[in-house]
Amino acid sequence: INLAINKDNIVRDVLLGYGVVIDSPIPPNMINYQKLSKENNPSYEENIKKAQDLLDKDGWKKGTDGFLEKTITKNKKKTTTSLEFSISTGNAPELVKTAQLIKQDLENIGMKVTIKTFEIGDLNQGIIRPRKYDALLFGQIINHESDLFAFWHSSQRKDPGLNIAMYTNAKVDKILEDASITVDEATRIKKYAQFEDEIKKDMPAVFLYSPDFIYIVSKNIQGFSIDHI
Protein backbone atom coordinates (compact mmCIF):
# COMPACT_ATOMS: atom_id res chain seq x y z
CA ILE A 1 0.00 0.00 0.00
CA ASN A 2 2.79 2.39 0.92
CA LEU A 3 4.62 1.70 -2.35
CA ALA A 4 1.48 2.07 -4.48
CA ILE A 5 0.35 5.48 -3.20
CA ASN A 6 1.66 8.42 -5.21
CA LYS A 7 2.27 10.85 -2.35
CA ASP A 8 3.73 13.54 -4.62
CA ASN A 9 0.41 13.65 -6.49
CA ILE A 10 -1.48 14.12 -3.21
CA VAL A 11 0.73 17.06 -2.18
CA ARG A 12 0.33 18.59 -5.66
CA ASP A 13 -3.41 18.01 -6.19
CA VAL A 14 -4.79 18.23 -2.64
CA LEU A 15 -2.42 20.73 -1.00
CA LEU A 16 -1.59 22.60 -4.23
CA GLY A 17 2.08 22.07 -3.38
CA TYR A 18 1.81 23.58 0.11
CA GLY A 19 3.22 20.61 2.03
CA VAL A 20 5.84 17.89 2.02
CA VAL A 21 5.71 14.12 1.49
CA ILE A 22 6.56 12.17 4.65
CA ASP A 23 7.58 8.55 5.31
CA SER A 24 8.00 8.81 9.06
CA PRO A 25 5.93 9.22 12.24
CA ILE A 26 8.11 12.18 13.25
CA PRO A 27 7.07 15.48 11.64
CA PRO A 28 9.64 17.33 9.50
CA ASN A 29 11.94 19.70 11.42
CA MET A 30 10.87 18.42 14.84
CA ILE A 31 14.07 16.59 15.71
CA ASN A 32 17.57 17.60 14.64
CA TYR A 33 18.75 14.29 13.18
CA GLN A 34 16.18 14.28 10.39
CA LYS A 35 17.43 14.90 6.89
CA LEU A 36 14.70 15.21 4.29
CA SER A 37 16.72 14.06 1.29
CA LYS A 38 15.20 12.74 -1.90
CA GLU A 39 18.51 11.59 -3.35
CA ASN A 40 18.59 8.01 -4.61
CA ASN A 41 14.90 7.57 -3.88
CA PRO A 42 13.25 5.11 -6.28
CA SER A 43 10.80 6.51 -8.81
CA TYR A 44 7.05 5.95 -8.45
CA GLU A 45 7.18 3.52 -11.39
CA GLU A 46 9.87 1.48 -9.59
CA ASN A 47 7.75 1.46 -6.41
CA ILE A 48 4.70 0.22 -8.36
CA LYS A 49 6.76 -2.59 -9.88
CA LYS A 50 8.03 -3.56 -6.40
CA ALA A 51 4.46 -3.53 -5.00
CA GLN A 52 3.22 -5.75 -7.83
CA ASP A 53 6.13 -8.17 -7.32
CA LEU A 54 5.39 -8.41 -3.57
CA LEU A 55 1.71 -9.16 -4.21
CA ASP A 56 2.55 -11.69 -6.90
CA LYS A 57 5.08 -13.42 -4.63
CA ASP A 58 2.41 -13.67 -1.92
CA GLY A 59 0.02 -15.43 -4.30
CA TRP A 60 -2.31 -12.57 -5.27
CA LYS A 61 -3.56 -12.79 -8.87
CA LYS A 62 -6.02 -10.60 -10.74
CA GLY A 63 -9.45 -12.18 -11.21
CA THR A 64 -11.91 -11.66 -14.06
CA ASP A 65 -13.09 -8.37 -12.47
CA GLY A 66 -9.53 -6.99 -12.49
CA PHE A 67 -9.14 -7.13 -8.70
CA LEU A 68 -6.66 -9.25 -6.76
CA GLU A 69 -7.67 -12.56 -5.25
CA LYS A 70 -5.92 -15.54 -3.67
CA THR A 71 -7.01 -19.17 -3.49
CA ILE A 72 -6.10 -21.07 -0.32
CA THR A 73 -6.63 -24.79 0.31
CA LYS A 74 -7.53 -25.82 3.87
CA ASN A 75 -8.62 -29.35 4.79
CA LYS A 76 -8.87 -30.13 1.06
CA LYS A 77 -11.29 -27.21 0.64
CA LYS A 78 -10.46 -24.32 -1.65
CA THR A 79 -11.48 -20.82 -0.61
CA THR A 80 -10.90 -17.65 -2.59
CA THR A 81 -10.23 -14.38 -0.80
CA SER A 82 -10.46 -10.95 -2.43
CA LEU A 83 -8.03 -8.18 -1.55
CA GLU A 84 -10.52 -5.51 -0.52
CA PHE A 85 -11.02 -3.13 2.39
CA SER A 86 -12.62 0.19 3.30
CA ILE A 87 -11.03 3.50 4.22
CA SER A 88 -12.93 5.53 6.83
CA THR A 89 -12.28 9.27 6.87
CA GLY A 90 -13.77 12.65 7.78
CA ASN A 91 -16.05 14.62 5.50
CA ALA A 92 -13.50 17.39 4.93
CA PRO A 93 -12.45 18.35 1.36
CA GLU A 94 -8.74 17.63 1.94
CA LEU A 95 -9.40 14.17 3.42
CA VAL A 96 -12.05 13.16 0.85
CA LYS A 97 -9.84 14.15 -2.09
CA THR A 98 -6.85 12.35 -0.56
CA ALA A 99 -8.96 9.19 -0.04
CA GLN A 100 -10.10 9.30 -3.68
CA LEU A 101 -6.51 9.56 -4.95
CA ILE A 102 -5.45 6.66 -2.69
CA LYS A 103 -8.38 4.55 -3.91
CA GLN A 104 -7.38 5.26 -7.52
CA ASP A 105 -3.72 4.31 -6.90
CA LEU A 106 -4.61 1.09 -5.05
CA GLU A 107 -7.22 0.02 -7.60
CA ASN A 108 -4.60 0.50 -10.34
CA ILE A 109 -2.68 -2.43 -8.83
CA GLY A 110 -5.81 -4.49 -8.14
CA MET A 111 -6.86 -3.67 -4.57
CA LYS A 112 -10.60 -3.04 -4.18
CA VAL A 113 -11.19 -0.01 -1.96
CA THR A 114 -14.41 1.51 -0.59
CA ILE A 115 -14.37 5.02 0.90
CA LYS A 116 -16.60 5.69 3.92
CA THR A 117 -16.96 9.36 4.89
CA PHE A 118 -18.32 10.63 8.20
CA GLU A 119 -18.91 14.02 9.78
CA ILE A 120 -15.98 14.63 12.14
CA GLY A 121 -18.09 14.23 15.32
CA ASP A 122 -19.54 10.93 14.07
CA LEU A 123 -16.11 9.75 12.97
CA ASN A 124 -14.64 10.42 16.42
CA GLN A 125 -17.50 8.90 18.42
CA GLY A 126 -18.70 6.04 16.20
CA ILE A 127 -15.58 4.98 14.33
CA ILE A 128 -12.32 6.07 16.00
CA ARG A 129 -13.22 5.64 19.69
CA PRO A 130 -14.55 2.05 19.30
CA ARG A 131 -11.82 1.36 16.65
CA LYS A 132 -14.37 0.30 14.03
CA TYR A 133 -12.48 0.57 10.73
CA ASP A 134 -10.51 -1.49 8.23
CA ALA A 135 -8.24 1.48 7.55
CA LEU A 136 -8.48 5.04 8.83
CA LEU A 137 -7.36 8.16 6.96
CA PHE A 138 -6.85 10.86 9.56
CA GLY A 139 -4.38 13.48 10.75
CA GLN A 140 -2.25 13.70 13.85
CA ILE A 141 -1.30 17.02 15.39
CA ILE A 142 2.08 16.59 17.04
CA ASN A 143 3.24 19.68 18.91
CA HIS A 144 6.14 18.16 20.80
CA GLU A 145 8.23 14.99 20.58
CA SER A 146 6.64 13.71 23.81
CA ASP A 147 3.33 13.46 21.89
CA LEU A 148 4.79 10.44 20.06
CA PHE A 149 4.24 8.35 23.21
CA ALA A 150 0.46 8.95 23.02
CA PHE A 151 0.29 7.90 19.35
CA TRP A 152 2.54 4.81 19.39
CA HIS A 153 2.85 3.29 22.89
CA SER A 154 0.84 0.05 23.22
CA SER A 155 -0.83 1.30 26.43
CA GLN A 156 -2.63 3.90 24.28
CA ARG A 157 -4.34 1.40 21.91
CA LYS A 158 -7.79 1.67 23.44
CA ASP A 159 -9.95 4.75 23.80
CA PRO A 160 -9.18 7.38 25.07
CA GLY A 161 -5.63 6.57 23.90
CA LEU A 162 -4.49 7.98 20.56
CA ASN A 163 -2.75 4.85 19.21
CA ILE A 164 -5.30 4.52 16.38
CA ALA A 165 -3.03 2.15 14.45
CA MET A 166 -3.47 -0.19 17.47
CA TYR A 167 0.27 -0.78 17.23
CA THR A 168 2.05 -3.05 19.68
CA ASN A 169 5.82 -3.42 19.86
CA ALA A 170 7.55 -3.99 23.22
CA LYS A 171 10.83 -2.57 21.87
CA VAL A 172 9.10 0.64 20.75
CA ASP A 173 7.35 0.91 24.13
CA LYS A 174 10.74 0.77 25.92
CA ILE A 175 12.32 3.29 23.52
CA LEU A 176 9.46 5.78 24.02
CA GLU A 177 9.52 5.29 27.80
CA ASP A 178 13.29 5.88 27.93
CA ALA A 179 13.11 8.88 25.58
CA SER A 180 10.45 10.55 27.72
CA ILE A 181 12.75 10.61 30.76
CA THR A 182 16.05 11.29 28.96
CA VAL A 183 17.28 14.83 29.59
CA ASP A 184 20.37 14.72 27.35
CA GLU A 185 19.28 15.85 23.89
CA ALA A 186 21.85 13.83 21.89
CA THR A 187 20.86 10.60 23.70
CA ARG A 188 17.16 11.36 23.23
CA ILE A 189 17.65 11.97 19.50
CA LYS A 190 19.31 8.55 19.21
CA LYS A 191 16.28 7.00 20.90
CA TYR A 192 13.90 8.62 18.42
CA ALA A 193 16.08 7.45 15.53
CA GLN A 194 15.69 3.88 16.86
CA PHE A 195 11.94 4.46 17.22
CA GLU A 196 11.69 5.61 13.60
CA ASP A 197 13.66 2.55 12.38
CA GLU A 198 11.30 0.17 14.22
CA ILE A 199 8.18 1.87 12.79
CA LYS A 200 9.62 1.66 9.27
CA LYS A 201 10.25 -2.07 9.75
CA ASP A 202 6.73 -2.83 11.01
CA MET A 203 4.76 -0.37 8.83
CA PRO A 204 1.75 -0.06 11.18
CA ALA A 205 0.63 2.99 9.21
CA VAL A 206 1.25 4.74 5.89
CA PHE A 207 2.55 8.28 6.34
CA LEU A 208 1.40 10.64 3.59
CA TYR A 209 2.15 14.32 4.01
CA SER A 210 2.73 17.22 6.37
CA PRO A 211 0.86 20.35 5.21
CA ASP A 212 2.46 23.78 5.38
CA PHE A 213 1.04 26.27 7.85
CA ILE A 214 0.15 29.24 5.64
CA TYR A 215 0.56 32.43 7.65
CA ILE A 216 -0.39 35.72 6.03
CA VAL A 217 1.09 38.94 7.40
CA SER A 218 0.19 42.51 6.45
CA LYS A 219 2.81 44.12 4.20
CA ASN A 220 2.85 47.03 6.68
CA ILE A 221 4.56 44.79 9.26
CA GLN A 222 8.31 44.98 8.75
CA GLY A 223 11.10 42.64 9.90
CA PHE A 224 8.80 39.68 10.55
CA SER A 225 10.69 36.40 10.13
CA ILE A 226 9.65 32.94 11.31
CA ASP A 227 10.50 29.51 9.92
CA HIS A 228 8.95 27.10 12.42
CA ILE A 229 5.55 27.31 14.13
**What digits encode the pLDDT tens for the residues 100-158?**
999 999 999 999 999 999 999 999 999 999 999 999 999 999 888 888 999 999 999 99
- SS3 state at 32: coil
Beta-sheet strands, E only, within 45-102: 61-62, 68-74, 77-82, 84-90
pLDDT of residue 191: 93
Q: What average pLDDT does this structure show over 25-40?
A: 66
pLDDT of residue 23: 93
17 pLDDT above the threshold of 80: yes
Degrees to nearest 5, angle at CA 156 with 152 and 157? 90
| Mean pLDDT estimate for the chain | 92
- Please give the backbone phi and psi of residue 180, each rounded to the nearest 5 degrees, phi first: -70, -20
pLDDT of residue 224: 84
Q: CA 6, CA 200: separation in Å to the nearest integer?
A: 18
83 pLDDT above the threshold of 90: yes
Residues 6+ apart with CB under 8 A from 41: none
- SS3 state at 61: strand
State the pLDDT confidence band at 36, using cuts at 50, 70 and 90: very low
- SS3 state at 68: strand
